[in-house]
Structure 1
Amino acid sequence: MFIQNGKLNVRKLEEKDKYLLAKWLSDPLVLEFYEGRDHPFDLDQVNKVFYAPEDDEVKCIVEYDGNEIGYIQFYLLNNEAKKEYGYLNEIIYGTDQFIGEVAYWNKGIGTLLVSTIVTFLIEQKKADRVVMDPQSRNTRAIKCYEKCGFKKVKILPNHELHEGKYQDCWLIEYRV
């Protein structure tokens, strides 16, 4: 395992995981906040988005109690993203994640996942901050992130195209 915390395991994405991603990213409940219900993924789309060799993200599958339940990626923010968000010369990582198995929602696993990855990024990658930009309407996710110590920094107006409409997002951060 790449990262482990009790029943939670995070491992690097493998070729066989494309079937899981296609399953999760064609579920309207998952797509409501991740990618959009008007944008379901098939295997071809999964291959293009998640298996592009030039990506800088570290892409991982989340397992809980031996079951594959979700996805997380983390990445070092580039200078352009730092400038957009108003940061300077710090080591800043971003993350994106979802629990694709709906039966595992509302059980504290998202909180465990986010807190575990934040600890990993700070201790192993020497991050000064960890940032995310959830849609402002995704209150369940924002509450999870706040439980993990993230604070709202600023609203990012019309930041993400989702289901044909630009959505406001929050820039949230965890500071060391």
Structure 2
Amino acid sequence: MLHEWLSRPHVSEWWDGTPTFAGVVADFTPSIRGGVAHWCYIVMADGAPLGFIQAYSPVAFHDDGWWLDEHDPGVRGIDQFLAESALLGRGLGSAMVRAFVAKLFADPAITRIQTDPEPGNGRAIRCYEKAGFRAAGEIDTKDGPALLMYCERPVGESFPSIA
């Protein structure tokens, strides 16, 4: 299912291109088995798969050359997509991100959440803005240019626990 989704044009355009099945297995098996600071989820709505969302600890990827300027172990990065292109533009992506952000911030150790869409991916940028993220500026990553965006833990606010 994940390979099929990642191969769809509305996803592959922004998510590392069209993957091979072996590439998807290699990329996601470590997080499925545990032992890495990378957590992947299939998002469900009304009993049907809606999309994919992942969280990761940026400091855990320093050895791979990622996020070398980030030193706060409480920061989480996220990435996501909706599985069906027909679902785009309906507010589902931002709702999915808001719910996931609430789930992450339910852990008091989480200090901030970041994401890094490509600067030309206006749809993703608007989705994250509607979910409470603010642009910090463009950066260069191993995958090319990105717009670094943050969602800060609101001071004095608590988030509901989402099961």
User: What TM-score results when the alignment is normalised by the length of structure 1?
Assistant: 0.74
CA displacement at 1:124 relative to structure 2: 2.5
Determine helix, strand or coil for the equivalent of 1:59: strand
* Counterparts in 2 of 1:137 and 1:124: CA distance versus 1, 3 Å: same
Query: Which 5+ residue runs of structure 2 have no aligned equivalent?
Result: 154-163
CA displacement at 1:69 relative to structure 2: 2.2
Q: How does 1:42-121 map to 2 (within 5 A)?
A: 42-52=20-30, 53=33, 54-78=35-59, 80=62, 83-84=68-69, 87-89=70-72, 91-121=74-104
Superposed CA offset, 1:24-68 (max 9, x none)? 1121222111112xxx22332221111124532111101122211
Number of equivalenced pairs: 146
Conserved 8 A contact 2:74-2:111: yes
CA–CA distance in structure 1, aligned partners of residues 151 and 57 of structure 2: 14
Counterpart of 1:55, as a letter, is V
Whose relative contact order is higher, 1 or 2, with alpha carbons under 8 Å and at least 6 apart? 1
For the aligned residues, what is the CA RMSD? 2.0
Superposed CA offset, 1:63-89 (max 9, x none)? 1222112111112221645542xx454
* Counterparts in 2 of 1:120 and 1:49: CA distance versus 1, 3 Å: same
Identity of matched residues, %? 29
Counterpart of 2:16, as a letter, is E
Superposed CA offset, 1:79-129 (max 9, x none)? 645542xx4546111111111221221111101111111111111253110
Residue in 2 that maps onto 1:4: none
Query: Which 5+ residue runs of structure 1 have no aligned equivalent?
Result: 1-19
CA displacement at 1:148 relative to structure 2: 1.2
Residue in 2 that maps onto 1:129: 112
* Counterparts in 2 of 1:119 and 1:175: CA distance versus 1, 3 Å: same
Residue in 1 that maps onto 2:161: none
Conserved 8 A contact 1:24-1:100: yes
CA–CA distance in structure 1, aligned partners of residues 16 and 68 of structure 2: 25
CA displacement at 1:160 relative to structure 2: 4.7
